[in-house]
Chains A and B, each alone.
Chain A
Amino acid sequence: MSRLLATCLMFCAFAGTAFAGDVTLPDVTRTELDNGAVLLLHEKRDVPLVGAQIVIRGGAVTDPDDRAGLSSLFAAMLERGAGERDAADFAEAIDAVGGSLSTEAGLESISINAEFLSRDAGLMVELLTDMLLAPALSSAEVNKLRERRINQLRAVKDSGLQSLVHVYGKAFLFEEHPYAVAVDGSEESIAKIRQRDLLAYYRDHVGGDRLIISIVGDIDSAAMIDRLSAAFGEWRAAEAELPEIAPAAPLEGRRVLLVDTGDAAQSYFWIGNVGVAVDFAQRAELDIANTLFGGRFTSLLMNEMRTKAGLTYGARSTLTRPSLPGSIAITSFTKSETTIEAIDLALSLLAQLHETGFDEPTIQSGKNYILGHFPPRLETASQLASQFADLEAYGLSASFINEYGDAIAAADPEAVRAIIGDVYPNLDNLVFVVLGNAELIRDDIAKYGPITELSITEPRFRP
């Protein structure tokens, strides 16, 4: 009898401990149409909202060499008139019901994100369908948007050096490889885009075989499947094949790009090389290593560069993981006078990462951190819709999410240490990109490697 009680008490206590990271993707209804289009639906009724993400595989890697930003401009044009509505009517239809709808181009896909009150789900689907099947792509709107985009890039150069350092970084690292592309284009490349380029893009890179539609929320999924199947079941395929891309080779040696920002108060730097792809087998080990190196507030980079040295407000280690190896980079910023001190410190921390890695308690702390932060990324209808679509786009199964927590928990500290040598660049092979006051820092940063210089007002991101 007392054994029964003891068992009960133990079991109850166990049931009360919700494991962090113990969150799985709900089941999704997946329907593949004859033309290859994939529909992903899930009903969720906690708030009266419905979220959708549409993915068109392709993205900036399909941009012609001299027209970087074409897929991005195309994505934006989808909001500027479709079906029976011109650009103004289209915007009015969204705002009138308090909906949100945005388009975005990425390196390997274009995505459309929408979130509407569930009572307006019908309108949402109508707008999304029109955007895909009957975009206006009118010449007047193309011309207007092109000029605005060019000015917007200039505005970012006036107010967003922290985000631009990544654009310059990838362009300088990947050089002639398609991953060098500035996804939103440059002032120079956008200026060349005409309506005929957009029409050709629509014909070549948009169609049923490239389409993924993911909708989550307070919906009737059976009715939604019927409606989407009727709309997209007969849709043509994209005329062009997706480009065959060879993986980029990591850079051997060092080189430096100095982007002169005139009298900026600080230097913004990016130090990196080629990293890993989305299907990298030891994702869990790498996520732990990167969290500890530069992915959280108490990371090695933040602790040494900000908390201890007071050199900067922020320092990070950033991984981009597309379908082929992307970039891995340290980014930070500091006042012009301490540029060398900060870059030297960042390099010594990279050396320390290689030499000593992290001890077991630190690795355990990294695991706890990742597991504790995982559930909030799967909370809302829109987050789930986007998660389903992304998995489908990269050909990954739900286990990518569902087994992630276990993989993190099970990661062997030795394997975490081993991954550092495999993935992080060593100090001899690095690309340096520094945005700052060239007059003040030019001479000193020459010690990192041969310098190429570019002014921030140049209408391109590559020398």
Chain B
Amino acid sequence: MALFAELRRRNVLKVALLYAVTSWLIVWFVGAIQSTKHVPVWTETFALFVLAIGFPVALLFAWTYEITPAGLKKAADVDQTQSIVYKTGQKLNAAVLVLGVLGVLAVFGQRLLPKFEFILPGIPEGDAPVSVTAPADIRSLTLDNGLKIIVWPDHDIPNVVMYNFVRAGARNEYPGITGLSHYFEHMMFLGSGDPEPGAFDRIMEDAGGSNNAYTTSDITVYQDWFPLAAIETIFAIEAERHKNLKLLPEVVESERAVVYSERRASIDDNNFWKLAEQVVATAYIAHPYQFTVIGWPSDIESWTLEDLENFHRTYYAPNNRTVVVTGDVTPGEVFKLADKHFASLPAQDPPPPVRTVEPEQLGERRTLVEAPAQTPLLHLAFHAGSASDPDAVPMQLLLNVLAGGSSSRLHRILVENEGLAIAVGAYQDEGFDPGLAYFYLTLPSDGDPAAAERRTLEELQRIATDGVSDAELAKARNIVLADYWRGLATIDGKAAALGQYEVFHGNYEKLFDLPATVEAVTAEDMSRVAAKVFRENNMTVGVLRAPTEEEK
């Protein structure tokens, strides 16, 4: 008790309290500035370390020394009757109170003040938005193992989205393992197998989150949606499935049947995709874009556990992935979590590049699918550019002029005026390598595929000769820009867009160049691109219809 009383008398307890309050403020401050670009991830840990070492030093100092009117003296040397420790104690109390109040104000102030949100710039009346700069609160960090993390805070709702982009898709496959990228996506759902298969989904959903994924010819994208409170759990289980994925033979078998069921529902019992699969396979003679993403039936039946292990080893390295996090987070906290959970994943040699370049098409290609059908289908595919091709944006505008909405040329002519089709649409592949500009038409039951094809082709080629009108160009720009804003209205859309630009354009900041790029496209650009792409020698035509009486 005597020791305790002496500790109190010498103000050691008050110094301890003051030290704690000051430390708390310092740690809070470091945390707050960590969301800025130039503060390293380890700063907070370092601050904690220094403060912890300083604590016993401060206490020892308080015990040993005492403040007197004549300056600092050893406590043992001070005449007890002259001691002013009581006054010093009062000062210490005041300091704790002031710092404590300041701290509370700062912490709450930050919560209560309007948050720094990215308010998209207003649009001047009558003008389309022409330029946007990347919002200042988007941050990125590349870990030593090459994993890049991009964060866009948005505090509208207390939720978070994490997208994991893996640069592996059907273009990385070869005959015998077609569909493996997509199958691998399924195996990732089942997680590390620890503590049991399916634990990944269970832990995720127990914590209020959910996840999905999709595979394309170019990439595999894993999507997690979760409440902020679950963020640590989600980082932990994501790290776990990337690090310790276990492929159990019995799980490989049952999931093979699941994928086959997916193929039957989405391709075999679906005329649209049944035809599209054949058209894409016909359009390429060399490049692996010819492989159907879900895989050919023979490959679904026969891929092996070893194939999966090889695939994982080759493509699932941190330096072959990009993580995007959007929602109710700060970059600082996300970087800390990424550092904690993802930094230990080892970097690997980059996977082998896809070397094959599709040779120029030398003449029209055709494919016919005979299938039970009440309505025939017509697809037209033309070789075009990659995502980063400068002609990709003019082509996007062109496809809008031709088939974007009920006022588009093809809809008006084929659907409304001439009744050759009941629906028409178009899209272009936007991948690493040159892809297809693709038109798809549904014909009425008594429709004539040859007539619809002739009419479509006529209109495509008319663009090359006669060009597009100013009104059409303005309309296409507006459609593309409005879609752009709609895409950025949700945290999910933000994550998807940032990742898409980072992966296919090399830098997420290019996302914010799109409005200016769209504005710069001219009618001449569109005619030039139309002339280059919409040639019969560059075309693959697919027709799906019921077999005729003789064919049956």
Chain A residues in contact with chain B, CB under 8 A? 1-2, 4-5, 8-9, 12, 15, 17-23, 45-49, 79, 87-88, 91-92, 94-100, 115-119, 144, 147-148, 151-152, 154-155, 157-162, 261-266, 296-298, 303, 306-314, 333-335, 364-365, 368-369, 371-373, 375-376, 378-381, 457
* Cross-chain contact A297 with B201 (CB below 8 angstroms): yes
Given A18-B229, A148-B422, A98 and B201 contact (CB-CB distance below 8 Å) = no
For the complex with contacts A307-B198, A333-B265, 15 further pairs of A-B residues with Cβ separation under 8 Å are: A12-B107, A17-B229, A23-B157, A46-B117, A47-B485, A88-B412, A95-B408, A155-B423, A261-B269, A303-B198, A309-B254, A310-B258, A312-B258, A369-B210, A371-B227
Chain B residue at minimal CB-CB distance from A158: B271
* Cross-chain contact B482 with A99 (CB below 8 angstroms): yes
A197 to B537 alpha-carbon distance, docked (Å): 50
* Cross-chain contact A375 with B422 (CB below 8 angstroms): no
Cβ-defined partner of B159 (8 Å) among A49, A144, A372, A381: A372
Chain B residue at minimal CB-CB distance from A266: B264
Task: Name the segment of B33-41, B71-79, B454-462, B487-495 touching the other chain.
Answer: B487-495
A160 to B268 alpha-carbon distance, docked (Å): 11
A88 to B411 alpha-carbon distance, docked (Å): 10
Task: Name the segment of B118-126, B315-323, B520-528 touching the other chain.
Answer: B118-126
Task: Name the segment of B55-63, B97-105, B428-436 touching the other chain.
Answer: B97-105
- Can you give 16 contacting A-B residue pairs, CB < 8 Å? A8-B100, A49-B485, A117-B485, A119-B124, A144-B416, A154-B375, A155-B375, A265-B268, A266-B268, A298-B201, A307-B198, A334-B261, A364-B206, A369-B205, A372-B210, A457-B374
Residues of B within 8 A of A115 (CB): 486
B190 interface residue, CB < 8 Å from A?
A: yes
Chain B residue at minimal CB-CB distance from A118: B123
A25 to B140 alpha-carbon distance, docked (Å): 33
B407 interface residue, CB < 8 Å from A?
A: yes
* Cross-chain contact B406 with A91 (CB below 8 angstroms): yes
CB of A73 to closest CB in B, whole Å: 15
A216 to B475 alpha-carbon distance, docked (Å): 24
The residue among B157, B226, B230 with the most chain A CB atoms within 10 A of its own CB is B157
What are the interface flags for B344-366 relative to A under an 8 Å C-beta threshold, 1 for contact and 0 otherwise?
Answer: 00000000000000000000000
* Cross-chain contact B442 with A155 (CB below 8 angstroms): yes
Chain B residue at minimal CB-CB distance from A368: B208
Residues of A within 8 A of B343 (CB): none
Chain A residue at minimal CB-CB distance from B275: A159
B20 interface residue, CB < 8 Å from A?
A: yes
Chain A residue at minimal CB-CB distance from B412: A88
B239 interface residue, CB < 8 Å from A?
A: no
B338 interface residue, CB < 8 Å from A?
A: no
* Cross-chain contact A263 with B120 (CB below 8 angstroms): no
Q: How many residues of B contact A (CB 8 A)?
A: 99
B299 interface residue, CB < 8 Å from A?
A: no
CB of B271 to closest CB in A, whole Å: 4
Residues of A within 8 A of B303 (CB): none
B235 interface residue, CB < 8 Å from A?
A: no
B478 interface residue, CB < 8 Å from A?
A: yes
B32 interface residue, CB < 8 Å from A?
A: no
Chain B residues in contact with chain A, CB under 8 A? 17, 20-21, 24, 93, 96-97, 100, 103-104, 107-108, 111, 117, 119-120, 122-126, 129, 156-159, 189-190, 197-198, 201-202, 205-211, 225-230, 253-262, 264-265, 268-273, 328, 372-375, 404-408, 412, 415-416, 419, 422-423, 442, 444-445, 471, 474-475, 477-483, 485-486, 488-492
Residues of B within 8 A of A1 (CB): 17, 93, 96-97, 100
A29 to B122 alpha-carbon distance, docked (Å): 24
* Cross-chain contact A151 with B258 (CB below 8 angstroms): no
Cβ-defined partner of A98 (8 Å) among B260, B406, B482: B482
* Cross-chain contact B157 with A264 (CB below 8 angstroms): no
* Cross-chain contact B407 with A95 (CB below 8 angstroms): yes
A381 to B228 alpha-carbon distance, docked (Å): 22
CB of A455 to closest CB in B, whole Å: 11
A109 to B483 alpha-carbon distance, docked (Å): 28
* Cross-chain contact B471 with A96 (CB below 8 angstroms): yes
Residues of B within 8 A of A262 (CB): 372
In the complex, the 7 A-B pairs of residues with the closest C-beta atoms, listed nearest first? A372-B208, A98-B482, A310-B254, A20-B227, A98-B478, A310-B257, A18-B158
Chain A residue at minimal CB-CB distance from B488: A47
* Cross-chain contact A155 with B422 (CB below 8 angstroms): yes
* Cross-chain contact A373 with B225 (CB below 8 angstroms): yes
CB of B332 to closest CB in A, whole Å: 14
The residue among A155, A303, A368 with the most chain B CB atoms within 10 A of its own CB is A155
Residues of A within 8 A of B230 (CB): 20, 372
Residues of A within 8 A of B253 (CB): 310
Residues of A within 8 A of B407 (CB): 88, 91-92, 94-96
CB of A243 to closest CB in B, whole Å: 32
A172 to B269 alpha-carbon distance, docked (Å): 23
* Cross-chain contact B405 with A95 (CB below 8 angstroms): yes
Cβ-defined partner of A307 (8 Å) among B190, B477, B479: B190
A55 to B492 alpha-carbon distance, docked (Å): 27
CB of A261 to closest CB in B, whole Å: 8
A332 to B129 alpha-carbon distance, docked (Å): 46
A306 to B265 alpha-carbon distance, docked (Å): 14
* Cross-chain contact B255 with A96 (CB below 8 angstroms): no
The residue among A79, A97, A372 with the most chain B CB atoms within 10 A of its own CB is A372
The residue among A94, A297, A364 with the most chain B CB atoms within 10 A of its own CB is A297
Residues of A within 8 A of B210 (CB): 296-297, 369, 372-373
* Cross-chain contact A151 with B227 (CB below 8 angstroms): no
Cβ-defined partner of B104 (8 Å) among A8, A23, A91, A261: A8
